[in-house]
Structure 1
Amino acid sequence: MFPQAVTIAGSDSGGGAGIQADIKTFQERRVFGMSAITAITAQNTQAVEAIHPVPIDILAAQLDALNTDFAIKAVKTGMLVDEAHIATVVSKLKYFDWGPLIVDPVMIAKGGAPLVSEGAITTIRQALLPLASIVTPNIPEAEVLAEMPIESATHMEKAAKKIQKLGVKTVIMKGDHSEDKQESRDYVLDGETSFWLTTKRIDTKQTHGTGCTFSACITAELAKGASTEYAIRTAKTFITSAISHPLGIGHGHGPTNHWAHRKEFQQ
């Protein structure tokens, strides 16, 4: 059966992040993508101008509808808005057989706007992460989840261990917010093993939706039955290519290029 995956996240009217980025990524990875929308946002490459949470009963109905009709093999979460929305997602995922759960703990937009309420953070830590197979925080998000400052590679390793103790097996700490101007280094703690993913840092503002795209690619590969490490390394290659071949859309933090991996961009 054709691989199927779900994203539970917010809608980005600008098309660069959220469910739009996830569905584009699923499609490029040859996985049929579905969505449950948590919030409608009014945003572009410059700012998030408004957020309208989807009513809880509609979120629950979306999840139930998907569960009754599809053979879902992996699921990811993005922006989950607040405690009530997270609790609804958690209550459903506890009983759905949807395969591995990948949590992209979306908390802050590229432009700095908060995307979840303060109380939601505690709910993510205590209720959502124990269900997750993988969590993919950037450094600011990891600082919140681990409740510690992260200013070095040693800090990244320590924070990953603290986050892992919340119940999630694999922590991928993205180093895109580090001060290293030459390299981007991601730290992966997978069970008891760990490794670093290192790429040349790309000087660009075309980075809107990078976290969504990276986690969506991991989700797609896991839906196809790939190992965790293979999925992570594939996603790193995919997002590096997406950033390396910018589209130049918008006047702010432009979106990544989801089809950059295709041969015509590699010539």
Structure 2
Amino acid sequence: MKQYSYPSVMTIAGFDGSGGAGIQADIKAISALGCYATSALTALPVQNTTGVKSIYPIEYMAVQEQIQAIMEDIPPKAIKIGMLHTSELVLTVVETLKKYPKTPLVFDPVMVATSGHKLIEDSTIGTIVEMLFPIIDILTPNLDEAAILAEMEIHTVEDMYSAGKKIKKLGVKNVLLKGGHLKTLELTSLFFDADDKVTAFQQEKYNTNNTHGSGCTLSSAIASYLALGESFVGAISKGQDYVHKAIFHGKDVAIGKGNGPLNHFFNPQILVKHDLV
């Protein structure tokens, strides 16, 4: 009898009890795109749609053991990394993943929540740049995070080009700079690839507060499409299209009293079967 496997994607990220962001959004997006979601929890923020109330840490050894257990049993085709809020946690994840250099790593540098709450310690940023950037394959900062990394204010698309070039110089291979926070009618994102070529993506912007977890969702979608065999440009293009439609289909739904979630399951795919090698 012929056997198959599902393309698995692991998310290494923080918790969101309200279900819109973090590891919950990651699992929803990965599943909706036909991949098999596995996970390792890095932190336990207490939050809802109105913001983050507090953050409880997970033991670093527990994070390492979670990742190792999945890598040994269900090796992922791609990995999404989200909330790493301490230097020790960054080092733990880096040391664990360095053993698997062929697995594509998508890092969403979760520094500021949609609500505006800062989610990372200042001392951690230097550790991320020095230790994590060299091993990841693509970085997906929003404008708030890009402003921190590039050490400049970003108000225009031209500023985005400058910021992206500065971030590339920090040693990361590929950067997708998301322009959703610009006060423009159109949403522009810029992809800076390993050869310093810049590809612009433009989409209609919707008038809605239901964007909680959009960054988590996008990075997970990109990882999912990489697991399905897409190139970086293809994964980014399809990932952004998925998020754009998820926002559209959830834009007029009231969930919670703050920034509501996306509709991750507007068009769910059945789990993809690959031949078992």
**How does the TM-score come out when normalised to structure 1?**
0.95
Displacement after TM superposition at 1:245 (Å)? 1.2
For 1:172 and 1:25, how far apart are their aligned partners in 2?
18
1:79-104 CA deviation, whole Å, 9 max, x = no partner? 11210101100111111246111010
Q: Does 1:217 align with 2:245?
A: no
Is 1:154 paired with 2:158? yes
Alpha-carbon deviation of 1:71? 2.2
Report the secondary structure of 2:42's partner residue. Answer: strand
Tell me the amino acid that sits aligned with residue 107 of structure 1: M
Aligned residue pair count? 262
| Counterpart amino acid of residue 259 in structure 1 | F
What pairs up with 1:2-151 in 2 under 5 angstroms?
A: 2-97=6-101, 99-151=103-155
Partners of 1:170 and 1:120 lie apart in 2 by 21
Greater mean deviation of Cα atoms: 187-196 or 103-112: 187-196
Paired position in structure 2 for 1:188: 191
C-alpha contact 1:248 1:254 (8 A) present in aligned 2: yes
Matched, 1:257 2:263: yes
* CA-to-aligned-CA distance 1:40-72 (integer Å, 9 cap, x gap): 121110111121010111111111111211121
Larger RCO, structure (CA 8 Å, separation 6 or more): 2
Give the Å deviation of 1:119.
0.8
RMSD (Å), alpha carbons: 1.3
Alpha-carbon distance, 1:248 to partner: 2.1
- Quickly say closer, same or farther: Cα 1:260–1:94, change in 2 above 3 A: same
1:233 maps onto 2:216 in alignment:
no
Consecutive unaligned residues of structure 1, counting only runs of 5 or more, are: none
Shift of 1:24: 0.5
Structure 2 equivalent of residue 201 of structure 1: 205
Matched to 1:253, the amino acid is: N
Contact kept in structure 2, 1:22 and 1:216, CA below 8 Å? yes
Cα distance in 2 between the residues matched to 1:251 and 1:76: 28
The answer to whether the 8 Å contact 1:28/1:258 transfers is yes
| Cα shift at 1:125 | 1.3
Q: TM-score, normalised by structure 2?
A: 0.91
CA contact (8 A) 1:143 1:150 kept: yes
Partners of 2:34 and 2:268 within 8 A in 1 = no
Structure 2 letter corresponding to 1:248: A
User: How has the CA–CA distance of structure 1 residues 98 and 251 changed in structure 2, closer, same or farther, with 3 Å as cutoff?
Assistant: farther
Quote the offset at 1:183 in angstroms: 0.8
Q: Mean Cα displacement is larger for which, 91-100 or 251-260?
A: 91-100
Which stretch of structure 1 is more off in the superposition, 192-201 or 17-26?
Answer: 192-201
Q: Is there any run of 5+ residues in structure 2 with no aligned partner, and where? A: 270-277
Query: SS at the partner of 2:88?
Result: helix
Encode CA deviations 1:155-212: one digit per residue, 9 max, x unaligned. 21121111112222211111011121x1111111112321111111111000100000
